[in-house]
Amino acid sequence: MKFIVSSQVLLKSLQSIGGVLSTNSTLPILDNFLFQLEGETLTITASDVETTMSVVVPLVKAEDEGSIAIPAKILIDTLKTFGNIPISFTINMENQLIELATDDGKFKLSGYDGNEFPDSPEMEDSSEISIGAEILEQAISKTIFATGNDELRPVMMGVNFEFTPDGLIMVGTDAHKLVKYTQKTIKSDSEDSFVVPKKPLQQLKNILSKSTENVLVRYNKVNAHFEFDNYKLICRLVDNKYPNYEAVIPKDNPNILIVDRVQFLNKIRRVSFFANQSTNQIKLSITGQELSLSAEDLDFTNEAHERLNCSYEGSNLDIGFNSKFLIEMLNNIDTEQVTMELSTPGRAGILLPYIEGESDEEILMLVMPIMLND
């Protein structure tokens, strides 16, 4: 089995799927990339059993077919040291010895039988839908940051996909914050939902930004499969029902605040430096058309106050939030102004992009308050 490939093309391809590799895998074969050469098509695969991702790499030249598993770390580390040069791979399929050759050097390493690499799951009884790469990347970016890290609640560590006749709805939550993203242009004849874990979504997010193609999404009860450009990703779905998020979104919010997003974000960030570092609590005090932000850390006698003009309808209100959550949310909204819908200091606040007129995209962000100690 022989082929010649550009070192930079190969490195970029390996790095694009390398995030799938697990650092603590119980199967040693999964510390390798699977190289499969058929005709002049080289497909490289990385897997951690739960998620499998493959990329087709263009070759300069190819001879003989075969499959071999090549150690990932040494291969990537070696390729990083080269400029953009052609590298020739010669693989002895009997003893799995691999020789890399450049104009100036030769490198030898041992690989493993490609047949030991786990097979990708078959997608039986699957449904499918096509989504633009830009739309899917946007939807993942707007929701993945709100997912949790509690391994005892795996359903919170994923994003809920809902296909409906009215549009695609994606939701991420960790029980302290929640984001509901709706894209009305992606309509489905039937209603389906499934939860995709964070890791494969992070992989997709990193690559989708470079694509302008449509992504073919196929799914069944067990797996989801994403295919676009020269990439394929298949992942096991979270086997739990997603919580009823609509029940926690407060519907009646009489206090409406409209404020400049960038000014609001910068003032929260500045005030948060002086907040208690364990709670990150900041206080919003809204009186008339003025918003006051404050934070204090009694242990170090740190204190900060800022004021900001705003548009406000409702009664005077003092409410506390975790500043980290607000900063994350404001960073994931693109409009010049944002709307906050509030009711009482004990009920969740709703953060929305301020948009005049209709839009195909809707984003609702919910953040739970922190009770103030007055």
Q: For the whole model, what pTM was predicted?
A: 0.93
Confidence of residue 140 (pLDDT cuts 50, 70, 90): very high
What are 160-167's contacts with CB under 8 Å, separation 24+? 160/193, 160/194, 160/195, 160/242, 160/245, 161/193, 161/194, 161/195, 161/196, 161/224, 162/191, 162/192, 162/193, 163/129, 163/188, 163/190, 163/191, 163/192, 163/193, 164/188, 164/191, 165/189, 165/191
Confidence of residue 372 (pLDDT cuts 50, 70, 90): confident
Supply the pLDDT for residue 72.
96
pLDDT above 70: percentage of residues in the chain: 100
Which position has the higher pLDDT, 233 or 24? 233
| pLDDT tens, residue by residue, 315-344 | 999 999 999 999 999 999 999 999 999 999
Tokens encoding 186: 């992606």
Does the pLDDT of residue 373 top 80, yes or no?
A: no
CA dist 135 and 215 (Å) reads 10
CATH of the structural domain 249-367, one choice from 3.50.50.60, 3.30.300.20, 3.10.150.10, 3.40.50.10800: 3.10.150.10
Query: What is the residue-averaged pLDDT of the chain?
Result: 95
Region 300-316 average pLDDT: 95
Q: Which CATH architecture has domain 127-247?
A: Roll (3.10)
| pLDDT tens, residue by residue, 185-241 | 999 988 999 999 999 999 999 999 889 899 999 999 999 999 999 999 999 999 989
Range from 87-91, 199-203, 350-354, 355-359 carrying the lowest mean pLDDT: 355-359
Supply the pLDDT for residue 374.
59
SS3 143: helix
Does the pLDDT of residue 24 top 90, yes or no?
A: no
The domains spanning 2-116 and 127-247 adopt the same CATH topology: yes
Residues 11, 16, 17, 18, CA torsion sign: positive
Confidence of residue 93 (pLDDT cuts 50, 70, 90): very high
Does the pLDDT of residue 138 top 70, yes or no?
A: yes
Domains of the chain, by residue range, sit at 2-116, 127-247, 249-367
Q: Are 333 and 355 in contact (CB under 8 A)?
A: no
**CB within 8 Å of 42: residues ≥ 6 apart:** 3, 5, 35, 36, 56, 57, 59, 62
Supply the pLDDT for residue 351.
98
Q: Which CATH architecture has domain 2-116?
A: Roll (3.10)
Measured from the Cβ of residue 215, the count of other Cβ atoms closer than 10 Å reads: 22
Q: What are phi and psi of 7, to 5 degrees?
A: -60, -40
Confidence of residue 118 (pLDDT cuts 50, 70, 90): very high
Residue identified by tokens 């490939």 is: 5
Confidence of residue 26 (pLDDT cuts 50, 70, 90): confident
| pLDDT tens, residue by residue, 234-273 | 999 999 899 999 999 999 999 999 999 999 999 999 999 9
Supply the pLDDT for residue 100.
96
